[in-house]
Amino acid sequence: MTNFDVHAIRQDFPILSREVRGKPLVYLDNGSSAQKPQVVIDAVTKAYSEEYANVHRGLHFLSNLATDNYEGVRAKIARFLGAKDESEIIYSTGSTFGLNMVASSWLAPRIEAGDEIILTVMEHHANIVPWHFLRERQGAVLKWIDIEPDGSLDPQKVIDAIGPKTKMIAVSHMSNVTGAIVDIKTIATAAREKGVAVCVDGSQSSVHMPVDVVDLGVDFFAITGHKLYGPSGCGATYFKKERLAEMRPFMGGGDMIRDVGKDVITYNDPPHLLEAGTPNIVQMIGLGAAIDYMEGIGWDAITAHEADLTAYAGERLRGANWLNLYGEAPGKGAIYSFTMNGSAHPHDISTIIDQRGVAVRAGHHCAQPLMEHFGVSATCRASFGLYNTREEVDVLIDALELCHELMG
């Protein structure tokens, strides 16, 4: 798509035409979960109504059709992430599942008491808790890296923290609270020279910017479908081929085995080795449709639109001197977190502006170490997607002004 017409794009998303509390919906909670275009809804409906059967080994027509549709998404995800081989793409229920898989199936067998995992305070809990499991169960040491005053992460601080006992660096590509983008390539280059693996939570970045896992040089990269305008309950994780060969099975069941006997079992090859049980067939087909939709629009158009929206939202929010913004890193993504002077708690703000049809997220955003770093218990977060507009930013500001009048 050469010309980006946001109003035409909005027509692709049926939910955006509805009203909430008598007002047009202004959906600014995309960092939590994005809305779905009609093509995704249609793909899911068709898969259930015309083409559904269980996948793999069915032999009958519908099973073969469903298998082709389901497995065909793997190549789309590989292309979307810049992976060399589709076998490096492991299906999952989302980033949380993928990060836990890395922790349990790759790192756990390799870590000993006293070995270190480097984390940053900007991580989502999904990229914290799996590593805490290894701290609790195997004596791993978690080394924490603070962010800069503007919310950015200095890659050199991460690199300097690498020591002889460091086994893993786990880091987000983009903060789900501030939108700060991390220089993953610089971190991964230094880590590789020191024999340290890098696991990246790409939940936020993958919907806002093109990703090339080979160029980044990472070992693992997790994405989640519901933030990519796809269905909930689907996602994938990139495993560098060398790491994939080192994985032990994560779950046991169908598809991940070749033969099962009373005394011995024979495992399947990746990617199916790590995909036990009946998968989320239809959700993955829907994710494939979402990727097709985004690629049809094109990254140049998406990033240009979101950069304009981010700049305009920042200008309007900074113009409200009774708001406190958290994280103003250069080149940040389309996410703003804020609190309000006075008595208004973020939950109050969210509740009040909801009366104007504005949907934002309020709370700690599954990032409590970052909240502690900022010295707050919660913020409001407005997160934007490819279908949001400058006019919606204006509605947000008007709603916040009402809240300030009521509670400032």
CA-based nearest residue to 207, from 97, 120, 81? 81
First-to-last alpha carbon distance for the chain, in angstroms, is 45
CA-based nearest residue to 363, from 383, 343, 342, 378? 378
Give the span between the Cα atoms of 166 and 253, in whole angstroms: 33
Secondary structure letter of residue 291 according to DSSP: H
Beta strand extents in 126-212 (DSSP E only):
141-145, 166-172, 197-201
**Helical (H) or strand (E) element with 357:** none
Q: Which amino acid is it at 344?
A: A
Residues carrying an active site annotation: 366
Give the span between the Cα atoms of 231 and 234, in whole angstroms: 7
Tokens of 96: 């949380």
Give the span between the Cα atoms of 235 and 222, in whole angstroms: 8
**Helical (H) or strand (E) element with 235:** strand 235-239
User: CB neighbours of 50 closer than 8 A, spacing ≥ 6?
Assistant: none
Write down the number of H helices and E strands in the chain: 15, 17
